[in-house]
Structure 1
Amino acid sequence: MTDTRLAIIVLAAGQGTRMKSSTPKLLHEIAGVPLIGHVLATAGQLDAAYTVSVVRHERDRVVEVIHDHFPSSLVVDQDELPGTGRAVEQALTALPDDFDGDVLVVSGDVPLLDAATLADLVKGHRASGAKATLLSAEPDDATGYGRIVRTADGMLDRIVEQKDASDSELALREINAGVYVFGLAELRDQLAQVTTANAQGEKYLTDVIGLLRRAGSDVAAVPVSESWLVAGVNDRAQLSEAAAKLNALIVRGWQLNGVTVQDPATTWIDLKASLAPDVTLLPGTQIKGATSIASGAVVGPDTTLVDCEVGEGAVVKRTDATLSVIGPRASVGPFAFLRPNTVLDEDGKIGTFVETKNSHIGAGSKVPHLSYIGDTEVGIGSNVGAGTITANYDGVNKHRTQVGSHVRTGSHNVFVAPVRIGDGAYTGAGTVVRKDVPAGSLAINVAPQRNMAGWVESNRPGSDAATAARAAGPDGAGHEQAEQAVQSGE
């Protein structure tokens, strides 16, 4: 049920210069979801009455993602006055006048913080009667974080930002995680008193804590169980660390649900993926987007699937596939490339060094070797010979090739679309098919072989080939003598 006394503010206005990227920091992804998407998903689980996102840098791009992940979020633009305090101050103006509950403030660049931790924070804040409660942590490296300064009896006294901290304060290990719960009235009153008199010239939200303490109010700092829960992402190194930690949690979750992951360190699974029990993932495998894999399927090694569907018992080996459907008991790879809109039905095969695109390969049909199959329909039980190419593009338009059921095509065929190969038809090796082949017919290109006697000696005199040919004689019977002649240079 909706918590009518809770509002959530998501801070999403920062530029993120340390990312050194043309992409806004909050739009960088881990596990297939933008950083801000993780935070909004967590916020959504708390069922707050209001969620307000504060934006500024690359405003339109960020807002688009916010609305994709949390359509009901209110959006507020931060003005020219910098700082988290100013961002929260402006967010409060979006709340209805009759709202008098608690305000939870979270950062858009802290993707691993879970809803249970936030729910406990809100619950503890309400039970304690404190005017403000925040999360703290003790990471191995506190660089960049505000330090928690406590009184002699262990109570929270104030928060000092890194650039304003003394040497003794910088030595403190406990840091501010940037997650707060405030009573609305107290927050409004104290924000009005916060100034920009600091090294950054910003209006700090953390100054509210000091003001509340000087006013005699109780303020609490609650340490999290694991510091990685509140780890922020400010650069590419921290992005990869957060991605690795989240992936480890995702992989372990699937293992506990019956999925075999042979090498968790080299296996990556996006949050939206779905895996059934008894799936096996081999090393070097990436399961990306909304990929779903049915029971008994084996994927990998060295395979990337993006938004794919894999049926029961299928085997997908050393393959790159996107927006493709692989049917039950089908076989794909090794070294196959499935481009979007490839559909391989049950018991079918897409084999070694085969590329497919916008094609449907029917049940039990096979494209085993060295082929390109684009814009093509293949019926059931057909075999497409090695080295086959569907020439689907005439320089202006794409055309389709239709291969019927129980067709056998020869090696090194070219099907010049649009063309249809009828059911039960055969095509000879090396055939270029430019016209439809009726059902049950054999299509061949008639070009008798012509042997030009003496051509090598006439056109390549003195070469090893010419020497071998002369020693072998016209019928090639002197093979051993030819080999000796070449070796002796005669």
Structure 2
Amino acid sequence: MVGFLWIGSVLVMDITAVILAAGKSTRMKSALPKAIHPICGKPMTRYVVDACREAGVERIVVVVGYRADDVKAALGSDVSYAVQEEQLGTGHAAAQAMPLVESSQVVILPGDSPLVRPETIKKVISTHNETKAAATLLTAILEDPGSYGRIVRSSDGEVERIVEAKDASPEILEIKEVATSAYCFDTELLRESLAEIRSDNAQGEYYLTDTIGILRSKGYKISAFIAEDWCETVGINTRVELAEAVKILQRRILEQLMLDGVTIMSPETTFIDSGVSIGADTVVYPCTVIEGNTSIGVGCRIGPFTRIVDTAVGDGASVMASNIVGVRVVKGSAVGPFENASCGVCGEDG
């Protein structure tokens, strides 16, 4: 079972998260590292960091590589960093983080899966401990598994190994259960198996997936938790996939705001960043964009045809058909239509 330990005066789970975020944006055709592509106002990999924290995992190591300093600056100083100087595969990336892992268990997650929920991470950890496994996989059932590694099970349903698509036979490619690149491991067993992986495969890389076959061959139990929503497990590799992730995250953001008492007249034409706060009984009208570090008070009227960025809107204020950036909107005031402000104070006391 996962244990607990004291860090200062705080009791935390004896587990570390390792997030793999060393890659480039080759398929996205971008000079910006994939880990820090913005999604709804937040770097892609920051969603994974925050999901780990919400799942109760306090110690986090992010493996960086391409433009490492830029990635560190974007993700923040509240995590530790390991550097993968040369991208030699996911197994090699995980190995770079292991000197920083002192806990008895480790969760490994890809940095390009921003849709994973804290509840799913918790369930992977719970499954790992309940089954007393050496390793536990997060898997998904996909109708079109594409390039994902396939989960090969024995006749009794036990996980035997993961086969990367590029190395798979036609029979294995028919399997619809796939590996999602998310795992929970016994730390010491992971260290041992990482030392045994080889690069004699089609890509010439060190696959983290090979640790599963190594552990299984030694008689250790491998468990799996099948994701309840396969969308959580999707990795972002292209701009098309990025757009799909934005749609899903926007739906989550808007639904939470509505559950918190905000009326959104047209979710289909409204875009709100993840860090925006909006008070109850505010109404957001169609064709409205709210971005950055924006806070909107209670009982406001926002839109239609409005963009608000890095702005504080006081209680009871209205902003209509305007573009305002970096300003303060006075409580109870009316701004617009056709206001275009980039600093200072907008509106008069109403």
Instruction: Give the aligned partner of residue 205 of structure 1.
Output: 208
Instruction: Give the aligned partner of residue 11 of structure 1.
Output: 20
Instruction: Give the aligned partner of residue 219 of structure 1.
Output: 222
Q: Give the C-alpha shift of residue 91 in structure 1.
A: 0.8
Contact 1:81 1:203 in 2 (8 A): no
Pairing partner for 1:83 from 86, 89, 98:
89
Q: Give the C-alpha shift of residue 56 in structure 1.
A: 0.7
Q: Superposition pairs for residues 378-393 of structure 1, below 5 Å?
A: none
What amino acid maps onto 1:310 in structure 2?
Answer: V
**Cα deviation code 1:202-234 (max 9, x no counterpart):** 000000001111111110111011011111111
Q: Give the C-alpha shift of residue 280 in structure 1.
A: 0.6
CA RMSD of aligned residues (A): 1.6
Instruction: Give the aligned partner of residue 322 of structure 2.
Output: 319
Instruction: Give the aligned partner of residue 237 of structure 2.
Output: 234
Instruction: Give the aligned partner of residue 93 of structure 1.
Output: 99
TM-score normalised according to structure 2 size: 0.93
Q: Give the C-alpha shift of residue 332 in structure 1.
A: 1.9
Q: Give the C-alpha shift of residue 49 in structure 1.
A: 5.7
Pairing partner for 1:128 from 127, 131, 152:
131
**Cα deviation code 1:139-161 (max 9, x no counterpart):** 34322211111222222121111
Q: Give the C-alpha shift of residue 334 in structure 1.
A: 2.1
State the SS of the aligned residue for 1:200: coil
What amino acid maps onto 2:92 in structure 1?
Answer: R
Contact 1:279 1:295 in 2 (8 A): yes
Pairing partner for 1:245 from 245, 248, 263:
248
State how far apart, in whole Å, the 2-side matches of 1:304 and 1:85 are: 44
Alpha carbons of 1:118 and 1:341: their partners in 2 closer, same or farther (altered >3 Å)?
A: same
State how far apart, in whole Å, the 2-side matches of 1:204 and 1:61 are: 26
Q: Give the C-alpha shift of residue 243 in structure 1.
A: 0.9
Q: Give the C-alpha shift of residue 335 in structure 1.
A: 2.3
Q: Give the C-alpha shift of residue 268 in structure 1.
A: 1.2
State how far apart, in whole Å, the 1-side matches of 2:340 and 2:179 are: 48
State the SS of the aligned residue for 1:180: strand
**Cα deviation code 1:247-285 (max 9, x no counterpart):** 101111111111111111111111111111111111111
Instruction: Give the aligned partner of residue 195 of structure 1.
Output: 198
What amino acid maps onto 1:88 in structure 2?
Answer: A
Q: Give the C-alpha shift of residue 93 in structure 1.
A: 1.5
Q: Give the C-alpha shift of residue 89 in structure 1.
A: 1.1
State the SS of the aligned residue for 1:305: strand
Alpha carbons of 1:346 and 1:142: their partners in 2 closer, same or farther (altered >3 Å)?
A: farther
Q: Percent identity among equivalent residues?
A: 36
State how far apart, in whole Å, the 1-side matches of 2:329 and 2:58 are: 43
- The answer to whether structure 1 residue 330 and structure 2 residue 333 are counterparts is yes
What amino acid maps onto 1:238 in structure 2?
Answer: E
Pairing partner for 1:108 from 106, 111, 115:
111
Contact 1:155 1:220 in 2 (8 A): yes
What amino acid maps onto 1:74 in structure 2?
Answer: S
State how far apart, in whole Å, the 2-side matches of 1:171 and 1:336 are: 58
Q: Give the C-alpha shift of residue 18 in structure 1.
A: 0.6
Alpha carbons of 1:139 and 1:318: their partners in 2 closer, same or farther (altered >3 Å)?
A: farther
State how far apart, in whole Å, the 1-side matches of 2:149 and 2:34 are: 20
State the SS of the aligned residue for 2:100: coil
Q: Give the C-alpha shift of residue 81 in structure 1.
A: 5.7
What amino acid maps onto 2:91 in structure 1?
Answer: G
Q: Give the C-alpha shift of residue 47 in structure 1.
A: 4.3
Which ranges in structure 2 are unaligned for 5 or more consecutive residues?
Answer: 1-9
Alpha carbons of 1:65 and 1:254: their partners in 2 closer, same or farther (altered >3 Å)?
A: same
- The answer to whether structure 1 residue 268 and structure 2 residue 277 are counterparts is no
Q: How many residues align?
A: 341
What amino acid maps onto 1:116 in structure 2?
Answer: E
State how far apart, in whole Å, the 1-side matches of 2:158 and 2:280 are: 49
Contact 1:280 1:296 in 2 (8 A): yes
TM-score normalised according to structure 1 size: 0.67
State how far apart, in whole Å, the 2-side matches of 1:10 and 1:254 are: 29
State how far apart, in whole Å, the 2-side matches of 1:239 and 1:166 are: 30
Q: Give the C-alpha shift of residue 193 in structure 1.
A: 0.9
State how far apart, in whole Å, the 2-side matches of 1:122 and 1:243 are: 27
State the SS of the aligned residue for 1:62: helix
Instruction: Give the aligned partner of residue 59 of structure 1.
Output: 68
State the SS of the aligned residue for 2:59: strand
State the SS of the aligned residue for 1:15: coil
Contact 2:294 2:309 in 1 (8 A): yes
Contact 2:65 2:87 in 1 (8 A): no
Alpha carbons of 1:213 and 1:21: their partners in 2 closer, same or farther (altered >3 Å)?
A: same
State how far apart, in whole Å, the 1-side matches of 2:58 and 2:333 are: 49
Pairing partner for 2:147 from 141, 144, 148:
144
Which ranges in structure 1 are unaligned for 5 or more consecutive residues?
Answer: 348-490
Specify which structure has the bigger relative contact order, considering alpha-carbon pairs within 8 angstroms and separated by 6 or more residues. Answer: 2
Instruction: Give the aligned partner of residue 296 of structure 1.
Output: 299
Kindly name which structure, 1 or 2, has the bigger radius of gyration based on alpha carbons: 1
Alpha carbons of 1:4 and 1:274: their partners in 2 closer, same or farther (altered >3 Å)?
A: closer
**Cα deviation code 1:105-141 (max 9, x no counterpart):** 0111111112221122112211211100010112343
Contact 1:299 1:315 in 2 (8 A): yes
What amino acid maps onto 1:33 in structure 2?
Answer: K
Alpha carbons of 1:73 and 1:283: their partners in 2 closer, same or farther (altered >3 Å)?
A: same
